[in-house]
Structure 1
Amino acid sequence: MATVAADPQGNLRKLTDEYTKLQQEQQKLIVSQQRLTAQKTENEGVKKEFERLKDGESIYKLVGPVLLKQEKFEADSTVKGRLDFIDKEIARLENEINESNTKMDDIKEQIMATQTSAQPAQ
């Protein structure tokens, strides 16, 4: 804490820059989380459509400009695998966002402490 007393303005700038960087990183995480949530919703809709299919109905998968016939169990397992992956990624992003919030709260406290300690010196 000796650097706080020696240069409170420099320390304040450093903390503010670090806080801003964390905010930007957190915003990227939130955008990724929103994208994954949209993909999850889309895949859940596909899964529901698969459940409504009767035996013998065909499923086609778009590969480039071509529709390829696909077995129901194969298509269903692909969608389930995608949903599992998306759920894991959403959970990972939630953890990263929570960690980021904790770091940001710590830096906020440091900024307030630095501002408080710098005021009597002025």
Structure 2
Amino acid sequence: MSSSTALRDLQRDIENKANDLGKIQKGKYSEESSDKEEELDLLEEDANVYKMIGPVLVKQDLAEANANVRKRIEYISAELKRLDAILQDMEEKQISKRDAIVKLQQRVQSIQAGNAKA
């Protein structure tokens, strides 16, 4: 295999890995924070609480509203943990792709340096 063929193969490999890295970066998830519904804790037990169902406000028990909010917060927290794990995996893949690109670029430079001396 000639050095020019090896160089072309390495450059093609670098382009492919750079494209893979770009795809991974575009697929990043953005982390969003969830706020606790602390307002319900400020209410007295006999306070009126309403839940919006479509265009209608329906009266709801305060304990039931608190339970619903707690369940939603648990769901959102679990979803954030899941997305964080996905994000961590994607970041590890990015690092791996970057390392592969750097190694390939170093090989290209060494081949080009060898050709320049010849």
The answer to whether TM tops 0.5 is yes
Where does residue 100 of structure 2 map in the other structure? 110
Where does residue 15 of structure 1 map in the other structure? 17
Structure with the larger helix share:
1
Tell me the secondary structure at the aligned position of residue 14 of structure 2: helix
Residue identity in the other structure for 2:81: A
| Unpaired stretches in structure 1, ≥5 consecutive residues | none
User: What number of residue pairs does the alignment pair up?
Assistant: 106
CA RMSD of aligned residues (A): 1.2
Tell me the secondary structure at the aligned position of residue 58 of structure 2: strand
- Runs of 4+ with >3 A deviation: none
Pairing of 1:35-114 with structure 2 (within 5 A):
37=33, 40-41=34-35, 44=36, 46=37, 48-114=38-104
Where does residue 3 of structure 2 map in the other structure? none
1:30-62, Cα deviation, whole Å (9 max, x unpaired)? 1xx22xx1xx21xx1x2x111111121110011
Query: How far apart in 1 are the matches of 2:44 and 2:106?
Result: 70
**Structure of greater Rg:** 2
TM normalised by structure 1 equals: 0.81
The percent of aligned pairs where both chains have the same amino acid is 26
Query: How far apart in 2 are the matches of 1:69 and 1:107?
Result: 55
How much has 1:71 moved relative to structure 2? 0.9
Query: How far apart in 2 are the matches of 1:112 and 1:80?
Result: 47
Residue identity in the other structure for 1:63: I
| Unpaired stretches in structure 2, ≥5 consecutive residues | 1-5, 113-118
